Structure 1
Amino acid sequence: MIETAKDIKLNVLPLELFCEHLYYYEGPCRFGSGDALRPGYDEIVFAERAKKFIADIKAHVPEGTVVMDPVLFRRTDDWDEPEAQWEAMEAAVNAADVVIPMAGAGVQDLAFKFAQRFKKTMCYCPSSGAFNVPDVPAAIAARNVGYACYSEYRWEDFVLRMVALRAKKVIARTKYLCVTRFDGTQSVSRPDSFTSLDQITQRFGTRFHFANIHEFFDCMSEAVPEGNHTTPGRKTLNVDECDLKRANDICDELIEGAENVGMSREAMLPSVVAYVVTQKFMDHFDCNAFSIPCPDACSTRRLNEGRFTMCLTHALNAEAGIPSACEYDLPAALSEQALIAVSGRSPYMGNTCPIPVLDGKFKHVFGATEEQLEELAQDPENIDRLWMTQHSVAHRCHPDPSAYAPYGITPFAYDQKFGATLRYDFSRDKGEYVTLCKFSPDGSKMFIGKAEIVESSGKDKENCTQLVFYRFKDSLKAHRAQCKVGIHVALVYGDYTKELIALAEALDVEPLVVE
């Protein structure tokens, strides 16, 4: 099964903590007058408070959050802690991702003991208690024990925290399908991929499943009785009649919906079959992220012989909320997953760099015309601020993931016209903001950028000439930060910098924030 980010829910468990006074008295742990000091009164007040506590949480959790039935721990002013109560809540706690405790006099030690016992992430909310509850978070942070406790006194901060914690869960539930030829860590063109996949699994929980590139390509044809060349006699994931029908249906749908089609249906179909095979592998191995090396695969000549590229696969995956990165750039795919998780939008990724002014004009970049660069130079706002992201994996869901925007289809290969790519005119969205994201090769840093779209290029061209131009406020700072993470940067429409900063904190990585 392919589990996308939208399928992953954050399970939030309210924890009701109640201390009952058994006798009539007042003092440092009991104050009030009249009926408020009588036995039984605490129960009435607590019931009303707990009801409001649950209602407030349900009213403020963001989309993708499930509020579980609350668990209750009650004690008396004998300071008892019945073991049976701890045991009774274990099943619910095990199913929870985040615990939202109540706070109050006589129960804060219980919240701390709960954290020590179950080692669950906790977060106080504005309805947890009368104060902003810094005591339990401070006690846990001082011990550096590997689990966190937060306290949010504004609902907007609580919502942001839940978004980040859900995104952290999505990152942990990410499992790559890594199609490799030479090296399972990086391709010949991507030295800035993850330096250690084991380290990434230990840090984030992200997992990796590997498939041999030749076995993968063999499966693009229907099975024969003697089996594939690389796996003779074995039952494999070759396309079957149903898969080929699906590929043909997708091909027809893409052609019918396009504004312009610059290649024949026959030339398109192999790239669609590659997408269907990718989906089949991902579904079989329960993967929800994908990457495959480009130069490593290209030099086998099997792409040329089969008349396909993987560009369309990456584009269609992105549309479906599945992170999918060119050139075996595993950090780029995880960066896409982070953006998908916090925004619900479909990402774009590619070669990203500033465009400096040299000898009085913008430096030439692959995919743009001199006339276009001269026109961009006419706007003083672009000078020393202009950047681009360039690849051939644009899709139909810019900028709205719920509706297809106008798009075109062109081949990747100049001469032989194979390798279907989708094209989008980013200039339709001039003035819109995008959020950029990229993990560093060791996973310790996250590039977080906010930029404004200014132009587009390559929508009618072949190859990796699809460009989106945008500008940062501080280009030099952005460049310095990007040099710590790598060339491929992912982006989505909208401003999600706060969400990514909160995610970086939840993941314990350093945010490199630029505008």
Structure 2
Amino acid sequence: MGKIKIKPVFVSYEKGFFRELPSAEEFEKRVNEVYSKLKKLYPEVDFSEPALITDVAGLNRLKSELTYDTDGILVYRLGGIAHKLLADIGLIGPPLIMVGRGVLNHDIVAYLRQRGREAYAVVDEKDLSRLFFFLTARKRVKSTRVLVVSSKSLPSFSAISSAYDLDLMKVKLGIDYEWISSEKLLSETEKVSDKEAREVLDDILSYAIKVEVSEENLLKAVKLYIALKKLLKENYCNAVAVDCAEPIYFEHRVTPCLAFTLLKDEGIPASCEADLSALTAMIILMYLSNKPAFMGNLWLHSAEENIVRYSHDVPPTRILGEDRKPFELHDFHDKNYGATVYVEVPKELKITLARVDSSFSKILVFKGTVKASHEGVGCRETLDIKVNNALDLVEKVANYGHHFAAVLGDYTEELIKLAKMMKIEPECA
């Protein structure tokens, strides 16, 4: 995806009150100082050449210098007032960013926000760094292209509460897509050689502390993983949703569970049952946390103890975003086909869960504490999670659906902030 691209703009214009204008030499010196400092402080940002505006004509020059991929205009007022001129810069298109504690910045930002424009008044360098982080995360979301694998229409018959309008997803969130059939995926799976699959499987087995699935089923699962990676590359996609409940996967005696575990470990969001609501939340969570996500069904376990259960077959092994944790390999629901992973999640870790509604307009966000990790209770991986109010949570879940994405750690504040930046209304439980 690359870095966010920020256009620095330095303004010295319009005397007012006691605000004088610096000399041309002083102005240029200050510009060079600030610009050099920006590049040193924020290496994660691509700063384009600065624009210097000292008259109204400079506004038109700025418009000609901006490119379609400009992610923000960072404005510094180095002399004068220039309220109207600064506001006009914010009306050009890209988000306007102003740094400093001065009330004039808030006046301009409020003017722009009242007119539906995106603008920010950050108070200092630390606050600016935080804004760059969120702009980068949003750009990553908008740079996502999902490979949808299904031979039927969306939503999947096994997840009918899911979002299903792919074009709406593209318009509202900027997430693009490509569609292939399940037959195409399975056809590519059959082309993978035993030798190629064996090399990948040997690496997987080197981390496994228990193996309770046949070599035949493991090789099938690995071949599907290799085929899926090939199709992702061919279609320029960096996320995937597979309608794995389709009968054809049962007929071929294979599931994408292991593939999803491995892909998420590699930073590629992957959703079961072609659930776009869970996938969208997963994309946001993974890009905010830089950790692979869990996905699971959610239900009430104990109202008295405020415990909910969270269960599926696709946990990551790099649960904290770093090295793989030891894991077990099992078949799919003890049905003698497929391959799934179980990872022991330590107790008392914080966890953040989320799901987007079917219109991509709202996101349910909540956090909890892992109280237990079970193998084979419900699906292969099941977590008992203590939440603030389990009854209130499950009542809200009924408005969203049953698959939730999750990452370990408390990212509720960051998730709410990014959701608002993406025009998604956050709801907390």
TM-score by length of 2: 0.92
Structure 2 contact 331–337 (Cα < 8 Å) conserved: yes
TM-aligned CA deviation for residue 442 of structure 1:
0.7
Partner of 1:94: 68
Q: What is the deviation of 1:385?
A: 1.1
Aligned counterpart, 1:326: 272
Partners of 1:395 and 1:407 within 8 A in 2: no
Q: Would the aligned equivalents of 1:423 and 1:466 in 2 still touch at CA under 8 Å?
A: yes
Unaligned runs of 5+ residues in structure 2 are none
- 2:4 corresponds in structure 1 to 10
**Identity, % of aligned positions:** 22
Within 2, Cα distance between the matches of 1:86 and 1:499? 32
Residue type of the alignment partner of 1:329 = D
2:17 corresponds to 1:28: yes
- Would the aligned equivalents of 2:6 and 2:48 in 1 still touch at CA under 8 Å? no
Instruction: Give the corresponding residue for 2:399.
Output: 484
Q: Contact conserved, 1:172 with 1:205, CA < 8 A, in 2?
A: yes
Instruction: Indicate the residue corresponding to 1:142 in structure 2.
Output: 114
- Asked whether the equivalents of residues 12 and 80 of structure 2 are also in contact (C-alpha less than 8 Å), the reply is no
Quick one: distance in 1 between partners of 2:127 and 2:428? 19
* Root-mean-square deviation (Å): 2.5
1:203 aligns with 2:172: yes
Which protein has the larger Cα radius of gyration, Structure 1 or Structure 2? Answer: 1
Counterpart amino acid of 2:176? R
Alignment of 1:292-303 (within 5 A): 292-295=242-245, 297=246, 299-300=247-248, 303=249
Choose which of 28, 31, 45 in structure 2 pairs with 1:66: 45
Q: In terms of mean alpha carbon deviation, does 275-284 or 406-415 score higher?
A: 406-415
Counterpart in the other structure of 1:362: none
Task: Within 5 Å, give how 1:264-279 maps onto structure 2.
Answer: 264-279=214-229
1:287 has 2:237 as partner: yes
Q: Which residue is equivalent to 1:124?
A: 98
Aligned counterparts of 1:395 and 1:434: Cα–Cα separation in 2: 14
Contact in 2 for aligned 1:263/1:409 (Cα 8 Å): yes
Deviation at 1:80, TM superposition (A): 4.3
Unmatched runs of 5 consecutive residues or more in structure 1:
1-6, 22-26, 32-36, 223-238, 358-382
Residue 354 of structure 1: how far off its partner (Å): 2.3
The answer as to whether partners of 2:141 and 2:283 remain within 8 angstroms in 1 is yes
CA–CA distance in structure 2, aligned partners of residues 508 and 56 of structure 1: 32
What does 1:117-196 correspond to in 2, within 5 Å? 117=92, 119-126=93-100, 130-131=102-103, 133-144=105-116, 147-183=117-153, 185-196=154-165
Say whether 1:466 aligns with 2:381: yes
CA distance in 1, matches of 2:413, 2:385: 20
Q: Tell me: CA distance 1:453–1:58, structure 2 relative to 1, closer, same or farther (3 Å).
A: farther
The equivalent of 2:34 in structure 1 is 53
- Cα offsets for 1:78-97 (capped at 9, x unmatched): x542476335523xx43421
Higher strand share: 2
In 2, are the aligned partners of 1:20 and 1:43 still within 8 Å (CA)?
Answer: no
Residue by residue over 1:58-106, the C-alpha shift from the partner in whole angstroms, topping out at 9 and shown as x without a partner, is 4654x8x32313422232xxx542476335523xx43421221113524
Give 1:439's aligned residue: 356
Q: CA deviation at 1:310?
A: 0.9
Question: In structure 2, how many angstroms separate the alpha carbons of the residues matched to 1:351 and 1:281?
Answer: 27
Check the 8 A contact 2:355/2:404 in 1, yes or no: yes
SS at match of 2:299: strand
- Residues of 1 paired with 2:162 and 2:127: CA distance? 33
- Aligned partner of residue 28 in structure 1, secondary structure: coil
1:493 matches 2:408? yes
Q: Secondary structure at the match of 2:404?
A: strand
In structure 2, distance between residues paired with 1:354 and 1:59: 50
494-503 or 244-253: bigger deviation: 244-253
SS at match of 2:415: helix
SS of match in other structure, 1:220? helix
Distance 1:189 1:16, change over 3 A: same
Report the Cα distance in structure 2 between the residues aligned to 1:43 and 1:281, rounded to whole angstroms.
57
Show the counterpart of 1:354.
Answer: 300
SS for the counterpart of 2:68 is helix
Contact 1:20 1:74 in 2 (8 A): no
CA contact (8 A) 1:160 1:499 kept: no
Closer/same/farther in 2, CA of residues 150 and 182 from structure 1, 3 Å limit: same
Q: Are residue 81 (structure 1) and residue 2 (structure 2) matched?
A: no
With the length of structure 1 as denominator, give the TM-score of the two structures: 0.77
The 3 A distance-change label for structure 1 pair 122 and 293 is same
Q: 1:475 to 1:105 in 2, by over 3 A?
A: farther
Q: How many residues align?
A: 428
Aligned to 1:397, which of 318, 325, 333?
318
C-alpha separation between the residues in 1 aligned to 2:199 and 2:61? 57
Q: Distance in 2 between matches of 1:84 and 1:132?
A: 23
Give 1:19's aligned residue: 13
In structure 1, what is the Cα distance between the partners aligned to 2:231 and 2:131?
34
Tell me the secondary structure at the aligned position of residue 350 of structure 1: strand
Note the alpha carbon deviations across 1:459-481, whole angstroms, 9 max, x for none: xx498231011111222332233
In 1, the alpha carbon distance for the partners of 2:415 and 2:205 equals 36
Equivalent residues of 1:413, 1:462 under 8 A apart? no
Distance in 2 (CA, whole Å) between partners of 1:55 and 1:479 is 52
Worse-superposed segment, 313-322 or 164-173: 164-173
